[in-house]
Amino acid sequence: MPESRKSRLTRPETLTALGIIVAASGFLFPTFELRAISALLPAAMLIGLIVLSVVLLLADQRKASAGEGAAPMTKSPKRVVGAFLLIVAYALATDFIGFYVSTVVAVPLVAWLFGYRSPVGLLIATVIVVGTIWAIFDFGMNQDFPTGRFWGR
């Protein structure tokens, strides 16, 4: 079927945006049951994700209305699968070895795998990310992150 006859809702970016909106909305509802200080970060991130997905949806629908063809789902399927596996590995590592240890490993690993190779830059980025998270949430808001099953919660 020619591109012009396909539904505008079946475009890959539109489907992705709709999927993210539905998933993020589903995860947003449980944050209403948390204490306000504990719900702040996840709610803000999920709302931001929803807003960015709406922007993606609108941009893709504008392209569709202008007659532009849909971009392929992915130009690098191995990279997409690898990114999902990294997310799963990070979540499991956070549960087993704790948030800070997992994050100290994950930040430079992800940057390295996506092509950033400067060891000094990787170190600086890791210190900035982990240090900022610690300063805001642990020091400033007195929120504890998971320490992991291996270290004892």
Write down the mean pLDDT value for the chain. 86
- 149 band by pLDDT with thresholds 50, 70 and 90: confident
Are residues 106 and 125 located together in one domain of the fold? Answer: yes
Quick one: what percent of the chain has pLDDT higher than 90? 41
Are residues 20 and 45 located together in one domain of the fold? Answer: yes
Which of 51, 73, 95 represents a domain boundary (last residue)? 73
Which of 18, 40, 73 represents a domain boundary (last residue)? 73
Are residues 148 and 127 located together in one domain of the fold? Answer: yes
Are residues 116 and 150 located together in one domain of the fold? Answer: yes
The domain in which residue 90 lies consists of 74-153
- In one-letter notation, the amino acid at residue 39 is A
C-alpha to C-alpha distance for 118 and 115, rounded to whole angstroms: 9
Are residues 60 and 79 located together in one domain of the fold? Answer: no
Helices 77-97 and 99-113: crossing angle in degrees, nearest 10, is 160
| Overall number of domains in the chain | 2
Evaluate if residue 4 carries a pLDDT over 60.
Answer: no
> Of 96, 24, 80, whose CA–CA distance to 53 is shortest?
24
Are residues 21 and 43 located together in one domain of the fold? Answer: yes
Q: Give the lowest-confidence range in 43-47, 132-136, 145-149.
A: 145-149
Which of 73, 106, 123 represents a domain boundary (last residue)? 73
Are residues 36 and 65 located together in one domain of the fold? Answer: yes
Are residues 69 and 96 located together in one domain of the fold? Answer: no
- 5 band by pLDDT with thresholds 50, 70 and 90: low
pLDDT tens-place string over residues 77-96? 787 788 788 889 998 998 89
Calculate ∠ Cα 92-73-115, nearest 5°: 55
- Give the mean pLDDT of 18-26: 92
Are residues 78 and 105 located together in one domain of the fold? Answer: yes
Evaluate if residue 62 carries a pLDDT over 90.
Answer: yes
Evaluate if residue 7 carries a pLDDT over 50.
Answer: yes
